[in-house]
A and B are shown apart, each in its own frame.
Chain A
Amino acid sequence: MAGSTLKIQDLHVEIDGSEIIKGLDLEINGGEIHAIMGPNGTGKSTLASAIMGHPRYDITQGSVYLDGKDVLEMEVDERAHAGMFLAMQYPSEISGVTNSDFMRSAINSGREEGDEISLMKFIKKMDSKMDELEIDQSFSQRYLNEGFSGGEKKRNEILQLLMLEPRIAILDEIDSGLDIDALKVVSKGINSIKSPDFGCLIITHYQRLLNYITPDKVHVMMQGRVVKSGGAELAQRLEDEGYDWIKEELGIEDEKVGEQA
């Protein structure tokens, strides 16, 4: 099967009445890795959460389609079943629910009754993915994100990514708070699911993640819009020169938008 296509057109998003995303277009196809970069407060994380259906965000205009299906009409869990995944910047902690129970419920939610993953198969898969991400086996019996360090939470998001095998993944600042070794491990995990069936949108402040995951396309976001797009070389230039040259080029004085992220 060919990869999926996520098509975002003229997207406008508000939080509590103030507009954060002001007309954004983006198309991600299976097999492609996109990176959205930009300084703080330009709407990057809002974009990620809004696409997944965050309860606080209102989409006031525009459309999001996954393989021709209207994503904005779907409940959050339906979006996941359609093949979407969001690795969150600040994952919730859920006390009393083990990582392993959570993961198994998530996998089974996408399956028909009677077709649930067998316990053995599940454990085998989870063990091997945990090994891949250099996560201690005790992790699976800990409560979901409770008391996890920042780095552990990020690894856990990637573990879920590898377990759930979505068609389109959005990774929201998956690199923040990771030391260089953890960054390598996480990147390796993401690279391991690269395939023509997998499309990915990486949101990041820093170019350093892109040293390990080569993007096909790089977009710069300012003032709630994509203001510049290019290839991997754009990320490199941003690393070397910062964002000021883009602001100058486009005549932007304040790149931020609405309330601070």
Chain B
Amino acid sequence: MSVDTKWTYDENYVREYSQNRGEPEWLTEQRVTAIRLADELNLPKPEKTNIKTWNFTEFKHEPGELSAIDSVDELHEDVQKLIDRSTEEQNLIVFRDGKPIYRTGSDHLQEQGVLFLDIETAAREHSDLLKKYFMGSAVDVDEHRLTALHVALLNGGIFIYVPKNVTVESPLQTIYWQDDPEMGLFNHVIIAAEDNSEVTYLENYASFNREQSAAANIISEVYVGQNAKVSYGAVDHFEKGVTTYVNRRGRVERDGYLEWALGQMNEGNTVSDNTTVLQGDGSKADTKAVSIGRGDQSQNFWTDIIHYGKNSVGHILTHGVMKDHASSIFNGVTEIKHGGTKADGQQTERVLMLSERARGDANPILLIDEDDVTAGHAASVGRVDPMQMFYMMSRGISRTEAERLIIHGFLAPVVNELPIQAVKERLTEVIERKVY
């Protein structure tokens, strides 16, 4: 009991930290409340994964002196690879240990009234707007210790606001790079898309430290207004030393549409919660997530769509590849609440096992409290199909290459969804490296 309640960070610390950042009082107070809660609350209890011994609390909270850079060339080589330099209109912010260090953005965004700002600046310059969404209806500070800790120690992130009737043509991209190997990232993402707006967002989490231990605690909140559309792409690739809690939540109003494409390629232990609430009638969510487990990492994925709206449509597709000793639990959850008539909830979880010693559980869960709905699920855990191998090899393709093609094909549903070519290629490379 005593070990994990020893705090390096207390009320005074967070108050001072918040004030030094020039944050509005409401945020300082939220942090202070949160640090008290963090003391009282327990860790979440993901099904079938014991996270009690995981490191969520040992890390450095503030980076050393970081200055902005003028050119992409000054970035880590692997960070550079995430940036598509061929296009002219590019909206990009690169964060290093929570601090924005590089940004390019078109003036067009400003003219449209779109906000694409690091959260620190947003707190100072758009306090009221941020307050409206921060830890809003999608996620509560007191869900468990990690949500509380997140608010208390938030040290990076992005605020995206798209006004009514505005379509953002080119994708907004962020790169969150953990450079200091001991740095804890408490990254917060807010996307607020007002009615009839449209935006595509793509984020990359990256670190390159394999040995030292650190934590990442990430919360995303996505608010999709009436008839608005948000496409949210992510590639998570923290190295082995980083323990990750990532919580991506969405809430969709009438006729809105939220699309998730998540490439969950962390090398370290990971707990992921991706929950979408289909609040409005006719709202839609399409969730696609892929992951690879290797080494001795343990991961738990919770993918959930909750239907309140009539005629709401929620689709979940989760594909996982498991090798070595890795262990992953894939929970797919479709919830249809009373009153969500004519809702349609479908989910598929597929796990491809490449090793006898790996563990992969696919758990489809349907919680349906309404009669007039359609819902379905498909789950499978299996090995590479010998008939597929025979077919490919009969055309001259070697066993290794055939397996490679099958795995890439298996993960293609997410790779193909990513809106930026450079990130697609990078994800393909990561997959390549993880599987061979």
Pick the interface stretch among B141-149, B164-172, B204-212, B381-389. B381-389
Q: Chain A nearest CB: distance from B320 CB in Å?
A: 14
Nearest-CB residue, chain B, relative to A77: B393
Q: B69 an interface residue at 8 Å Cβ cutoff?
A: no
Interface of A is mostly: mixed
Whether the pair B392, A96 counts as a contact (CB closer than 8 A) is: no
How far is the CB of A252 from the nearest CB of chain B, in Å?
32
Bound CA span A160–B386, Å:
20
| With A77-B396, A77-B398: A92-B409 Cβ-Cβ less than 8 Å | no
Is B47 in the interface zone, CB < 8 Å from A?
no
Closest Cβ of chain A to B348, distance in Å, is 11
Q: Give A75 to B386 CA distance when docked, in angstroms.
A: 14
Structural contact, B401 and A95, CB atoms closer than 8 A: no
Stretch at the interface among B30-38, B77-85, B410-418: B410-418
Asked if B412 and A95 sit within 8 Å, CB to CB, the answer is yes
CB-defined contacts of B386 to chain A, threshold 8 Å: 55-56
Q: What chain A residues lie within 8 Å of B67 (beta carbons)?
A: none
B394 within 8 A of A: yes
Answer whether residue B7 sits at the interface, using C-beta atoms and an 8 A cutoff.
no
Q: Give Cα A13–Cα B244 distance, bound, in whole angstroms.
A: 54
On whether A95 and B410 interact (CB within 8 A), knowing A88-B391, A101-B405, the answer reads yes
Chain B's nearest CB lies how many Å from the CB of A173? 16
- Decide yes or no: A105 and B405 within 8 Å by CB, A76-B393, A77-B399, A110-B396 being known contacts: yes
CA distance A160 to B392 in the complex (A): 11
Residues of B within 8 Å of A85, CB to CB, are 394-395
B367 within 8 A of A: no
Complex: A81 Cα to B397 Cα, angstroms:
9
CB-based contact B394/A53 at 8 Å: yes
| Closest B residue by C-beta to A160 | B395
List of A residues within 8 angstroms of B394 by Cβ: 52-53, 76-77, 79-80, 85-86, 88
6 tightest Cβ-Cβ pairs between the two chains A and B? A96-B409, A96-B412, A80-B396, A76-B393, A106-B395, A97-B409
A128 interface residue per 8 A CB criterion: no
A201 CB → nearest B CB, Å: 15
A54 at the interface (CB under 8 A from B): yes
Q: Most chain-B Cβ atoms within 10 A of its Cβ — which of A81, A91, A97, A109?
A: A97
The reply on A117 being an interface residue by CB < 8 A is no
Say whether B393 contacts A80, CB under 8 Å. yes
User: Would A94 and B390 count as touching, CB distance under 8 A?
Assistant: no
The residue in chain B whose Cβ has the minimal distance to the Cβ of A103 is B395
CA distance A88 to B388 in the complex (A): 12
Which of chain A's residues have a CB closer than 8 A to the CB of B396?
77, 80-81, 106, 109-110, 164
**Contact of A96 with B391 at beta-carbon distance under 8 Å, contacts A105-B401, A109-B401 already known:** no
Q: What are 18 A-B pairs at a CB distance below 8 A?
A: A55-B386, A56-B386, A77-B394, A77-B399, A77-B402, A79-B394, A80-B393, A85-B394, A91-B391, A94-B409, A96-B416, A97-B412, A102-B405, A105-B405, A106-B392, A110-B396, A143-B409, A164-B396
Q: Which residue of A lies closest to B415 (CB)?
A: A96
CB < 8 Å neighbour of A92 from B387, B411, B416:
B387
How many angstroms between the C-alpha atoms of A56 and B389 in the bound complex? 12
How far apart are the CA atoms of A56 and B387 in the complex, in Å? Answer: 9
Contacts of A143 in B (CB 8 A): 409
- Count residues of chain B with CB under 8 A from any CB of chain A: 26
A96 contacts B413, C-beta separation under 8 Å: yes
Q: Which residues in B have their C-beta under 8 angstroms from that of A109?
A: 395-398, 401
Chain B interface, DSSP helix/strand/loop, else mixed: helix
Contact B405 A75 (CB under 8 A): no
B395 near A94 (CB under 8 angstroms)? Answer: no
Shortest beta-carbon distance from B319 to chain A in Å: 9
**Complex Cα–Cα for A54 and B411 (A):** 27
Please indicate the chain B residues that have their CB under 8 angstroms from the CB of A160 in the complex.
395
CB-CB under 8 A from B392, the residues of chain A are 92, 94, 102, 106
- Interface pair B409/A75, CB less than 8 Å apart: no
A91 to B387 Cα, complex, angstroms: 9
A80 to B386, CA, bound (A): 17
The CA of A80 and the CA of B390, in the complex, are separated in Å by 11
Most buried by A among B386, B395, B399, B406: B395
B408 interface hit (Cβ, 8 Å): yes
By beta carbon, the residue of chain B nearest A81 is: B396
Q: Are B393 and A94 in contact (CB under 8 A)?
A: no
User: How many angstroms between the C-alpha atoms of A80 and B398 in the bound complex?
Assistant: 10
Contact A92 B388 (CB under 8 A): yes
B407 to chain A, nearest CB (A): 9
Complex Cα distance A160/B387, Å?
A: 17
Residues of chain A with a CB closer than 8 A to B398's CB: 77, 109
Q: In whole angstroms, how far apart are the Cα atoms of A101 and B406 in the complex?
A: 12
A88 partner residues in chain B, CB cutoff 8 A = 391, 394
Q: Which among A76, A81, A102 has the highest number of chain B CB atoms within 10 Å?
A: A76
Tell me the nearest residue of chain B to A111, going by C-beta: B396
> Which residues of A are found within 8 Å of B411, using beta-carbon distances?
96
Q: Which residues of A contact B416 (CB under 8 A)?
A: 96
A96-122 interface mask toward B, CB cutoff 8 Å, 1 = contact, 0 = none?
110001100110011000000000000
Name the distance in Å between B432's Cβ and chain A's nearest Cβ: 14
Residues of chain B from 13 to 32 with CB closer than 8 A to chain A in the complex? none
Closest CB in chain B relative to A93 CB, distance in Å? 8
B397 contacts A77, C-beta separation under 8 Å: yes
Q: Which of A65-95 contact B (CB under 8 A)?
A: 75-77, 79-81, 85-86, 88, 91-92, 94-95
Residues of B within 8 Å of A79, CB to CB, are: 394
What chain B residues lie within 8 Å of A76 (beta carbons)? 390, 393-394
Given contacts A77-B399, A105-B397, A105-B401, is CB(A55)–CB(B390) below 8 Å?
yes
Residues from chain B with a CB closer than 8 A to the CB of A52 are 390, 394
Q: Residue on A with the closest CB to B387? A: A92
Shortest CB-to-CB span from B391 to chain A, Å, is: 4
In the complex formed, the residue of B with least CB distance to A82 is B396
What B residues does A95 contact at CB under 8 A? 409-410, 412
0 or 1 for each of A188-228: is its CB under 8 Å from B? (1 = yes): 00000000000000000000000000000000000000000
> Are B397 and A106 within 8 A (Cβ)?
yes
Residues of A143-166 whose CB lies within 8 A of B: 143, 160, 164
In the complex, what residues of B have CB within 8 A of residue A106's CB? 392, 395-397
